[in-house]
Structure 1
């Protein structure tokens, strides 16, 4: 890892005095620096001749991560956040500064804007140490992990919507880290793509359907619902003839429908069956003359 060193030479009658003199020059405490003894103290001979004071070299190694942490600690103190613990976690190509302490929720800000601003400034300080790219991430209370899951869920939902509707959707402006999360998630949804638009603070992600993939959505007509050639209106039955819903009032259902009211309701939903009204049976008047139980017996001829 690249690093720089700050050093100071301290001189004193004893080693301890020389160390304290060197620390005062660095503005650090003795437990924060490392020492190298350059010269041991020597007493004068006979109290008059010779002798030499102690000389030590105090130095501290400055890494991009430590420089960023020192700068962040100074800013937080001026913001009124006292006693904030900064734990440096070295990762490939950079470091994560994990913050912990009491009442530090205000450091996050609205949708992480304050945290992102602090992260940007500390990143600039870290990159000035050896003039190379060194990525600094600031996290507190697992906010980054929670935000990442929220963005992944949003990206997946908007990508599926774009595939179904065939329309583009623009998200709110985000920093490069959050835009990268959106792009990675959208790539996992078949038929959806994403790209960035805008400049500086207004740069945002747009999610839309992939023109290279055949879409299953149907275009919408102006002022109406999607065109569907397989759609049948209620005025047309399965055999292509006009049904009862469009025939007008007073039209009697077909014979096969009258026999089964449930089938009629299934074919034309929402229109109840119209059974034939039951007519009261009138007594039949027998107009034939009253005849006796046995008719008149006629004798056969020839008897």
Structure 2
């Protein structure tokens, strides 16, 4: 993080000089007053200039992308991060070859990396951010797979009149199952167990 110390007749002047030198705005820096200015005796004897320290606040998304690039470098992968900002949040779509290693089994590696990305992002952000990490449109493909699975298993519950317990899933994936069947007339869903082994149960409505 870039940091400079600037002097001026007053704190306000010193800050303005520092902002000009950094070519940034006041909301992008942390300001620490090291010394207040004083006019001294008769405005001459013992006069002191104000001295402030300006530290540039890291851009959250830039820092997060830098973290990802360091991970890719360590894994010898060439990956481009395509950023999309929407009303629902921020999506980083990973573009490259051999991304299967980043996705992992059922997206477990991608979920773990997404967890770390959100920790990095929120370390620098003043407000809570939610970043979704995707690769080769895996999230959308996985969503469709889970929706089809939910519909198919609901049919099995109705046919055999016996509840079905799914494999452990992340909160995001459980939410897809619940949402897919929330208006179903015959079956209901609920979750049981503790993380990371919490599972969705599909059962007949009473």
For residue 74 of structure 1, the aligned residue among 70, 75, 78 is: 70
Match of 2:89 in 1: 94
Structure 2: state its 5+ residue gaps. Answer: 6-20, 25-53
Cα 1:70–1:203, aligned 2, differ >3 Å: closer, same or farther? same
- 1:147 CA drift (Å): 0.6
Matched, 1:171 2:158: no
Which runs of structure 2 are paired with 1:98-247 in the superposition (5 Å)? 98-130=93-125, 132-211=127-206
Q: Identify, as 1 or 2, the structure richer in strand.
A: 2
Match of 2:23 in 1: 36
Q: CA deviation at 1:117?
A: 0.7
Work out the CA distance in 2 between the residues paired with 1:131 and 1:190: 44
| Residue pair 1:173, 1:204 contacting (<8 A) in 2 also | yes
Equivalent in the alignment of 1:31: none
Larger Rg: 1
Partners in 1 of 2:70 and 2:99 — Cα distance? 15
Q: Aligned equivalents of 1:93 and 1:155: distance in 2?
A: 24
Q: CA deviation at 1:8?
A: 3.3
Q: Is the 8 A contact 1:93 1:134 kept in 2?
A: no
SS at match of 2:185: coil
| Structure-2 separation of matches of 1:116 and 1:61 | 25
Q: Secondary structure at the match of 1:112?
A: helix
Q: What is the total number of aligned residue pairs between the two structures?
A: 163
Equivalent-residue separation in structure 1 for 2:205 and 2:186 (angstroms): 5
SS in 2 for 1:202: coil
Give the distance between the partners of 1:133 and 1:159, measured in 2 at CA: 36
Structure 1 unaligned regions, length at least 5: 1-5, 11-33, 38-56, 212-303
| TM-fit CA distance, 1:141 | 0.9
Q: Tell me what 1:13 maps to.
A: none
* SS across alignment from 1:80: coil
Larger relative helix fraction? 2
Offset, 1:168:
0.8
- Does the 8 A contact of 1:35 with 1:58 survive in 2? no
With normalisation by structure 1, the TM-score equals: 0.49
8 Å contact 1:36–1:58 — kept in the other structure? no
C-alpha displacement of 1:143: 0.9
| 8 A contact 2:58–2:124 mirrored in 1 | no
